[in-house]
Structure 1
């Protein structure tokens, strides 16, 4: 049985992987040269629509309005993002608590801080072949569960869900890494695994490939864990506050835009990253593929908590996840901040919605 234990030392050892990672930059649609290029580290092997609300501000003018242009860098894994942020190789990275909280609990947390929650819980599910005997999470005991890889967020999160139900994720199930996207769906379709644990946009890619599957009904009392965040070095957040606020505001505007008109958002994304379209597809087919991929994700751009603004962080998510894993951190103040949220949300949401509805690509 393969298990994953991540320490800060492991993160630093991943630096060699980061050095060889794929870095993709968008094709800028504006003739205007922004004052600053912001390097965004993403824990993917290649950029895709799962981070659409962090990228389309380039096409919509939101980044230029804040004085920057973004360079999305797919560095291959969440541990690599942590390394890149700690070393200053990227300006901003996507923070994933399932990897960061164990480091915090050991007292080994570095100089990064999460300042904006760009997608909220809960985005993971378990799928089975249509007509399978597995009908509920309780039926997963003794089964072989596929994940994209053991560095993917679905692995620790699904382990926590099973543990919360009284199923030992080490003894009661088998875990198999089956690859990302369509290969994961093929593994399920061919019976190489009994079930597939994955996240929303991943299932969208499988659905877009025409591979059928059934999603198991989520158990009651699902822990609200697994949000994803923007993080940067504390000194950068302090000394380059305007830039960090600007990046967060561009992400918030892009989120509002997508919530108002996902089709327009898909068109903007494809203008930036046409290489992500299915090979040989028409524009209409390419837009549809993006929409299928993001349909579950877009609704998670808004917090599931009353009165929360775009990007506002609920620390209860951290304490809940730590409790599930027998961990504790007495002080979260070095791990997250909401100090930028009010300034990030200083924009006219109605105007962004109107722009979205009028957008023609």
Structure 2
């Protein structure tokens, strides 16, 4: 389970994060929902979890949101299990091994806010590596070993016959622009990263080429909203409300990404590049989220936004030889119908007419 060192790290990160929050909120909100994310600082990768504050969706549900960057997935899991955050982001690469050891606590995933597949491997322009199988003997960079790109990329390489322990070297190079610089300077041969991370590197003008994705990529690695099971049962309307706000925000961004970027910057102006104009700041957000927003909607015919498919967990467990016979403890789809009970066309019209 969570060891003492992880708990102390999580407690420290949570205490530091309490001072953070959006610059504006709605006075009519009756309570604050603390949302923990596994980032070192809040950024636009979680835009659809946050802009409901600026668009009035949270106020309609009777709450305001405080986003808390807790530094890593383990910290978020601890904070959620302890009840220190109301909603946390859950990731299968961290959670499923706990479930396999029969040590899963009382948290439950209730909404999938990003669907697979969002990772890639980039190389410098002109690299001799053109495919994932060309990476044998290469040094692959990741942001850090607690990032989702590390376990997911290991799984994909393994599925292609590349031993992730013997055939490649792994190096933690930091997040965002520093990761791109490490690739540019040749400190690493390739960079495994996720969509919004590559967007930040693109925005910094660092050239890179994405290797062609293998065919039949496994549908693994979605990201989920979670809360304590007993709280979801006792405060059902609150969790439906947060999921609905997220779904509305996702629809809003899909309809008008620039408007979504403006709403995010209204809440978190400090995330804009220093000295940038509004136009430049909006562009920086759009560069970061352009790949991610395509993953808000489920890639399954007829599936409702936010709905969870157990097949993704089964696939990831098999790839890692995790013996899990029952996944029901970890997720529920019971809130999805209510979460999606809103006028989608009204949200799209709001997005089209939004001026900031």
In which range does the TM-score fall when normalised by the shorter chain? over 0.9
Pick aligned residue for 1:106 from 77, 101, 105:
101
Q: Distance in 2 between matches of 1:9 and 1:272?
A: 33
| 1:27 corresponds to | 23
SS in 1 for 2:2: helix
Contact 2:2 2:78 in 1 (8 A): no
Q: Distance in 2 between matches of 1:27 and 1:242?
A: 26
Contact 1:85 1:232 in 2 (8 A): yes
Task: Judge which range, 224-233 or 327-336, deviates more.
Answer: 327-336
Q: Distance in 1 between matches of 2:298 and 2:54?
A: 25
Instruction: Give the drift of 1:20.
Output: 2.3
Instruction: Give the drift of 1:193.
Output: 0.2
SS in 2 for 1:322: helix
SS in 2 for 1:159: helix
1:1-361 counterparts in 2 under 5 A?
8-10=1-3, 13-21=5-13, 22-23=16-17, 24-30=20-26, 32-361=27-356
1:181-219 CA deviation, whole Å, 9 max, x = no partner? 000000000000000000000000001111000000100
Unmatched runs of 5 consecutive residues or more in structure 1: 1-7
Instruction: Give the drift of 1:76.
Output: 0.3
Structure 1 residue ranges (4+ consecutive) displaced by more than 2 angstroms after TM superposition: none
Contact 2:25 2:64 in 1 (8 A): no
Contact 1:319 1:328 in 2 (8 A): no
SS in 2 for 1:34: coil
Name the count of aligned residue pairs. 352
Instruction: Give the drift of 1:29.
Output: 4.5
Contact 1:263 1:287 in 2 (8 A): yes
SS in 2 for 1:244: helix
Q: Distance in 2 between matches of 1:85 and 1:110?
A: 10
SS in 2 for 1:46: coil
Unmatched runs of 5 consecutive residues or more in structure 2: none
What is the TM-score with the length of structure 2 in the denominator? 0.98
Q: Distance in 2 between matches of 1:29 and 1:119?
A: 25
Query: What RMSD in Å do the two structures reach over aligned CA positions?
Result: 0.8
1:295-318 CA deviation, whole Å, 9 max, x = no partner? 000010000000111100011000
SS in 2 for 1:305: coil
